[in-house]
Structure 1
């Protein structure tokens, strides 16, 4: 999938979403409870995001307008700002995963409860404003946003503080949006011309987008955009517009926004002509308003609907990659002939696999040999890993490694699924016990665990020998390549070594390690093990930021990140390049000890992995050895 920066540069227009706060109140959420919806009513928020995606929106804003410490305190709310923002971003990402199509998440950074550095009214000092915004940015980044929108702004010092807080942590694209009244100025008297003029002096330079939202209905907002357009064109900044559904009024005791979807859509063409690349809706707009904008902007005769799995799989030509035949052999045919590169992708949380297939295509085109597919990792419901593996193998000339857990199936169902996987051409299985349900969305669900991962290896070996778990004939022999996991960072390394030896004795063919970040972590494990009798794929998850590194080190079991690495990330904005460099150095040092890697993308973004895949393909030590022998 393209980055948001690429989309903003390449696309003629992209559709934003509609109102969040007023839409949540329409669902029965009280206004005072709105800021805490991501923590208290995540399903309601998730469903709202999905409605906008299904209506055609491709930019989804997080529900974090009031999620800063200053605003929350003014509302009498005590909350963990980082966690509130992280959770809101995560919910938006999960909605996108369920939707399955291309979409990008904008982290909303709203105003404080008072202006910043005002000379005429009570205000927040600039340095204090920065401190209020830093945890907002940290939480949104931890949640995996693709960019930021500093929105509903009325004064320039607040904009500068928000932008500086963002740019001190990341170089993701930023949109800045002002709220203009029907009289043509913001609450603190800023005109559209003054707002656009000030964009060149923001910390770090021009934003990716500038525009207007809220404050007024479609007609006054269009006027503000037209006034901003000449300077925006001069500066080369695309515009964004999110009008309200008219001016609100009270009808039967309820706030009512009068502008219909059809009326809001009438200004879409004029907004495009004025230079708007992003058009969505603000207060009072609904999924119907967004659908109307989509129809007007695309000239489509009928609303776009979410494509079915059949539509996607039938349209295989769109992947632009020839189909692969069913593999009679698994990954073992490549070991010691080439350095194996696999990429781990999580199945979508809904029925649409388009985004996953696109990511798989991209990494395959850049040289990946395999895609390894999680089996509802972290005990969260996702599309079947088996079905995902089959979809990938139908469209792409790559091997798949099916993660298969014993958590969800009794011994009978487990064997049935494995036989079905073999019939569908799946040859590589990573035998796992699986995360307990208590970690995920269905804490009340019953875990099965008739057998553990060691028992699963034994079942797979029995199939390869032509028998089931009871020794009964199955009418042939399967050809599974059996993988197992190992954690070189285990707290009780002796216990981990014992279990690993049991997996080898049960018949494992290859091993995949937990992600590591320092060579000595693997070297210590191998020394205690006395070497490995089977090929090893090293787990590598390139870091992208200091906050991600701290989170992984402190909160994810099995991952240890040294202080020397944490210090390198601590004072840089965007750690993507550093993460790639450290990952390459790690792999180069360990190359003599491993037969391949599996790369784990942060937030399912495969683009940062592409330079690593290309480099490893060029430096393949096994290819060099084979060529030398000839």
Structure 2
């Protein structure tokens, strides 16, 4: 999936989502508790995101509009602001994973409880405002947003504080949206002309989009957009529009928004013609409004559709994967080239399009293999086996199936493994699996009839023509058996012992947990000795200081040294630094590894492409024994 920055540069239309607050209140949530929904009712929020995706939205806003510390205090609420925003972003990403199509998540940043630097009203200083916004930005980045929307703004000083807090930490795209009344100005008297002029002079450059939301119904909002359009065109700033479903009124003790989906949608072509690149909805709009907008704009250029698998694709894939090109097992590559494998997680739902698109992207960039997680972190995902098969049907690339003993008894796991072999899967990474207690189904029962060592023995037995009980299986499988190792384990003697047992059981290659310093692997090898089988080194390039802190403190098996953390602490966008560190790590360890196992941050493969290109340029001509 392309980045949001690239998508916004394309001459295409992106449909935004609709209201979250009014929709959640309609679902029975207390208005005073709306900022805490990501922590208290995550499933309700995720289902709302899914409704908008199914209606046609491809830009989702996090439920964080009033979640800054200033607003929470004014509402009498308390919460960990960083955690609240991280969870909101994760819930939106979860919904996107379930939906399976390309979509982008933008972190919603609303006004503070007071204006900023006002000459006539009690207000916050610029420094105080930036301090309120910093944890907001930190949480959204930790949750993996693709960009930010600074929305429902009424004054320029608040915009300046929010944008400064964002740009201190990130180079991701920013949308700034103002709320204009039907009279044509914000609550502090800012006109559309003044707003767009100020955005053209924003320190650090204008935002990627400027627009209008809330404040009024579709017709007054269209008027505000038209007033911004000439100067926006001069400044080459695309516009965005998120109208309310009309002016609200109290009907039978309930807030009622009168504009129907059909009426709101009739304004969409005019908004598009005025220069709006993103069109969605605000207060009172529902999934029906978004669906009507999407249908109205369908005759205009739309986002490219992800390639859909069908019978014709299967035939084409089979033609590509003829007898000469069909994958035969990853060990055929060792000794011929430096192997590059990329980890992809299956989707959270039934739609595999996004993971298939990612697989094609990394294969075209030069990846030799794609390894597929088996519901990692004990969270429910599409079957890893089904995902591996779908990828193999479309691409002549090796797939490495992660296979855990957590969810299957001894009989079931043997049946699935035999089925995998019948479907052409040859590479299996034998894992015990994360316990259910850390995932979505803490009450689920783990099986663990055997551990990863026992699973290696089962696979090796299949290769010898018999099952776990010694019964003949009518032939010999040809599994290439991989195992994991954690070079940074606290109990290094235990980790060494387990790897020895895995190798004795029949393992043919090793994949390590991600490491960040050559000393981490050297320390393990000093204790273990030379490895008798190929090693794929785990590498997960860091992208930010917040991500590094999260991985170091909350993800089992990953250790990031203080020296590396210090290098990221004051870097605005750490993507390039993370890639440089990964390249240097591979340079340092090239003599003891036979390949690399790349793990993308937030399931985004595009940042890995420069690293794959570097590997292919430097290592592809080098043979490994």
TM-score bracket, normalised by the shorter chain, equals: over 0.9
The correspondence for 1:314, drawn from 294, 311, 314, is 311
Q: Deviations over 1:586-605 (max 9, x none)?
A: 00110000000010000000
Deviation digits for residues 348-401 of structure 1 (CA, Å, limit 9, x no counterpart): 000001010000001000100000000000000000000000000000010000
Q: Indicate whether 1:45 and 2:45 are aligned.
A: yes
Structure 2 SS opposite 1:203: coil
**Residue in structure 1 matched with residue 514 of structure 2 by the alignment:** 515
Quote the Cα distance in structure 1 between the aligned partners of 2:199 and 2:6: 21
* Corresponding residue number in structure 2 for 1:256: 256
- Per the TM alignment, residue 553 of structure 1 is displaced from its structure 2 partner at its CA by 1.2
Retained in 2: the 8 A contact 1:339–1:595? yes
How far 1:314 sits from its partner (Å)?
A: 3.5
Deviation at 1:251, TM superposition (A): 1.3
Match of 1:15 in 2: 15
The 3-state SS of whatever aligns with 2:385 is: helix
Distance in 2 of aligned mates of 1:97 and 1:2: 15
Q: Unpaired runs of 5+ in structure 2?
A: none
Distance, in Å, in 1 between the alignment partners of 2:596 and 2:321 is 22
Taking the aligned partners of 1:68 and 1:329, their CA distance within structure 2 comes to: 54
The TM-score, its normalising length taken from structure 2, stands at 0.97
Deviation of 1:319 (Å):
9.9
Secondary structure at 1:444's aligned position in 2?
Answer: coil
Distance 2:113 2:530 in 1: 61
Q: Which secondary structure does the structure 2 equivalent of 1:312 belong to?
A: coil
- Match for residue 352 of structure 2? 353
Q: CA deviation at 1:625?
A: 4.7
Q: Which residue is equivalent to 2:472?
A: 473
The DSSP-based 3-state class of the residue aligned with 1:538 is: strand
Q: Indicate if the aligned counterparts of 2:338 and 2:623 stay in contact, CA closer than 8 A.
A: no
> Equivalent residue for 2:584?
585
1:392-426 deviation per Cα after TM superposition (whole angstroms, max 9, x unaligned): 00000100000000000000000000000000000
Q: For 2:314 and 2:492, how far apart are their aligned partners in 1?
A: 49
Distance 1:24 1:536 in 2: 50
Distance in 1, Cα, partners of 2:480 & 2:610: 29
Per the alignment, residue 238 of structure 2 pairs with 238
The equivalent of 1:334 in structure 2 is 333
2:460 alignment counterpart:
461
Does the 8 A contact of 1:323 with 1:394 survive in 2? no
Indicate the residue corresponding to 1:179 in structure 2. Answer: 179
Q: Which residue is 2:321 aligned to?
A: 324
Assess, with a 3 A threshold, how the Cα gap between structure 1 residues 92 and 264 changes in structure 2: closer, same or farther: same
Q: Measured at CA, do residues 321 and 31 of structure 1 come closer, stay the same or move farther in structure 2, by a change above 3 Å? A: farther
1:551 Cα offset (Å)? 1.2
| Structure 2: distance between partners of 1:318 and 1:213 | 48
Question: What's the Cα RMSD here?
Answer: 1.9
Q: Give secondary structure in 1 for the equivalent of 2:128.
A: helix
CA–CA distance in 2 between the matches of 1:386 and 1:422?
10
- Provide the C-alpha distance between the structure 2 equivalents of 1:505 and 1:211, rounded to a whole number of angstroms: 63
- Residue 426 of structure 1 is matched in structure 2 by 425
- Aligned equivalents of 2:217 and 2:91: distance in 1? 29
Q: Could you list the per-position Cα deviations for residues 490-512 of structure 1 after superposition, in whole angstroms to 9, with x for gaps in the alignment?
A: 01000111111111111100000
Q: Is the 8 A contact 2:338 2:622 kept in 1?
A: no
- Give the whole-Å Cα distance in 1 for the aligned partners of 2:319 and 2:340: 20
Unaligned runs of 5+ in 1: none
Asked whether the equivalents of residues 90 and 143 of structure 1 are also in contact (C-alpha less than 8 Å), the reply is yes
Paired residue for 2:559?
560
Q: What's 1:275 paired with?
A: 275
TM-score by length of 1: 0.96
Once the two structures are TM-superposed, the CA of residue 150 in structure 1 deviates from its matched residue by 0.2
Give secondary structure in 1 for the equivalent of 2:571: coil
SS in 1 for 2:210: strand
In the aligned structure 2, how far is the partner of 1:460 from the partner of 1:68?
53
Find the counterpart in structure 2 of residue 295 from structure 1: 295
Measured after TM superposition, the shift of residue 570 of structure 1 is 1.1
Given that 1:212 and 1:224 are in contact with CA atoms closer than 8 Å, whether structure 2 keeps it comes out as yes
CA distance in 1, matches of 2:286, 2:396: 43
Residue 328 of structure 1 and its aligned partner are, at CA, apart by 6.4
